Structure 1
Amino acid sequence: MVSALKSRKQAVLEEARKAGLAAAELDENGKEINLHIPQYMSCAPWYLNAERPGLKHQRKWKSDPNYSKSWYDRGAKTFQAQKFRKGACGNCGALTHRNKACVERPRKLGAKWTGKHIAPDERIETFELDYDGKRDRWNGYDAAVSHKHVIQRFEARSKFLKVAQLKKLEDEARVDESKQMEFAKVEKRVRTTGGGSTGTVRNLRIREDTAKYLLNLDVNSAHYDPKSRSMREDPLPDMDPNDKFYDGDNQNGQALEFKQLYLRAWEAFDKGHDLHMQAAPSQAELLYKNFKINKEELKSRTKNIIMDKYGNASAVEVIPWQLLLGQSEQEVEYDRAGRIIKGQEIALPNSKYEEDVYTNNHTNVWGSWWKNHQWGYKCCHQTDFLN
């Protein structure tokens, strides 16, 4: 009964404070507490032993001068020996712990036996952790060091993926034509008089395609060779060329374009794209059109870049025939070894590159930075000359 009455008085007092009829509540420091702050934020946890509500427990506890007692340098190292020391860990070689407390991967032969790859000693610290320090999951975390490890791991992964991709391209280049056509082979048992043997019969037609002899059932249409499965003439000569998928093996029409579309869909599927010619033919055709447009744009852009850099050889004026034959009025004297004695001054070689030219808002010139056998800009570590 008393607690219910007390709660009712507290609710009435809060309503009066919100209406401005009563003074605001004060915290431990004598400052007014904002009426709009929720109760779960103003009330301190029980383990802080706070006498009155406030926001003192919500402030940055790292700014507390006593907080340094509960902060430690996570993963700090002190000294790295070059040879194994007596009493050190037999696995990694560190002197600050023993074999049972070693957190490194167990080696096949420990540092005690090999004397190589000695791990550095850890920094031993004595500190007292308060309530917050025991529950701080980021205690000892250094953002700069951690981000450096992330960059190194990313560079190593990028290098590994690049090498793997180059190796895959080299393997694909080594595949000969017979390997590329393995999808059209059918293994089948062939019976012979000697007791039978297994032979390979090449299937020249994909099962999803319509057979050539079914395109026109007229007896007088194009000849079909069942042995080689070839039809060199057009089975439908009177049909609109834009509506035909096949116009004979000797013709180059929409059939060739359709084969190229199939080939492009297979290549895209092998490279990891979610593309299937039979499941989504419209998507495959649209992607193939976009591929041809992007290929032409890339070819044109590359041509323009090369012409801007080296000039257009086709636009150069016609050189006179006197210069083509190497004739001139200058007298040059040579010795028996073919060296020039007089008649031609030795020309000092000039660099073909412009000096002290800052392009694309760079503050350093190209070639002012070197890493991993590549030149670049010192200001931004960019290795691309065009950017």
Structure 2
Amino acid sequence: MIVDFTISNFRSIRDKQTFSLYAETPGGHLLENISYPAGKKVGVLNSAGIYGANASGKSNVLLAFEALQWLVCVSGRLTDGSAIGCYEPFRLSKKTRTAPVRFEIEFFTPDGMRYVYKIAFTRKRIVEEHLSFYPSAKAALIFDRNSEDTWETIKLGGMYTGGRRKFPFFDNNSYLSKAGDSADAPELIRKVYNYFQNDILRLGLNEEIHFDDWIDNPDVFKKVSAILGFVDAGVDGVIVRKSSVDEEDVRFPDDIPQAVRESILRDMRRTFLFAHPTEAGDSELFDLRLESSGTQRLFRLAPLIVQTLEDGGILIVDELDNSMHPFMAELIIRLFNDPDVNCGNAQLIFSTHNISLMSPERFRRDQIWLTEKTNGATRLFSLDEFDKNKVKSQSPFNRWYAEGRFGAVPKIDYHKIAEVMTNKAEASNA
């Protein structure tokens, strides 16, 4: 479970911003929305939603998770001198354009061990990297690296034992990526690497998922099919029809990359058919493309929901309710906040514009986050930062947000827009 994530100088996030899922004051409101991955020591929220105007930085917060995951899982494959692809500093200030991007994350792995990982990097160089853990109340170092360190001088902690620890890396490789992906590394470092590799799932607004990972899993496929049947989508079940298509059966232009060819072939090898009940009592099969956009979106999201809840991972979704009825988004949130369903400490982190979800019946104050921009820089804050005597646990969050009491709403000048549409603005400037 993620306890908190601190970001600075990434895209629109100029200054240090911390997205926290730590239930600092559990109180008595919606206690079922809190999990305790290490006994009763630390309470962590099962879900959190981010609100804000368009282009206020909501998606950038979620993209920071993806960038961090890339650094941990992929940067080790970079050749010497290659650019770090996720280096995207704040570009509206001369001070930050070439300054390091910085991430810091505190998290629990599924076994209840607590870690802190920090990394700072420029376009072609990782200038800081640090990993520590808490075998007791006191933090213990696993490794620490600064801008001058090489793979031979990196500092290694005394409790970091059990395998090979020295791994050659270039300036643009994270040590965690190189060591964690090696079979002879200590189990401790491989466990952290696998956490980032397998337990953090993200679905962007227009992203597709690879169905190959779950269509051959009967349990997951059964649950996905059942979910669609129980949400009044008019679907009785889902059938996958497979066919054998080889690359020589398709004429690809010479300039099509191999990865794209494989993706196209995967799609051609399987067809998803949705069974709809007919008046006669039997079923008619419809291709996925003929289903509503909401059904398609839920179908693509459902496998990730099932996998995350079963594995105790983290699901990150940009615009959770996109193309779906608000009731569908409410259902997904409810699953993650239900301790009888979410037995493995899974988490849901999402962005949305749907203020009907912003309700004290669904969320605690510390689960609702807001983004707003000042001079192009994003500020991230939660309702828990407002005066608790004024914004209480049972306050009408959504109505007050719509009224602008919390900020983070678009500033729209209707009269100026109306002048533009009626050409009055041109006339007044003539």
Whether TM exceeds 0.5 here: the answer is no
Q: Name the structure where helix makes up a greater proportion of residues.
A: 1
Flag the structure with more relative contact order, 1 or 2, with Cα contacts below 8 A and sequence separation at least 6: 2
Normalized against structure 2, the TM-score is what? 0.18
Normalized against structure 1, the TM-score is what? 0.19
Q: Name the structure where strand makes up a greater proportion of residues.
A: 2
Larger radius of gyration: 1
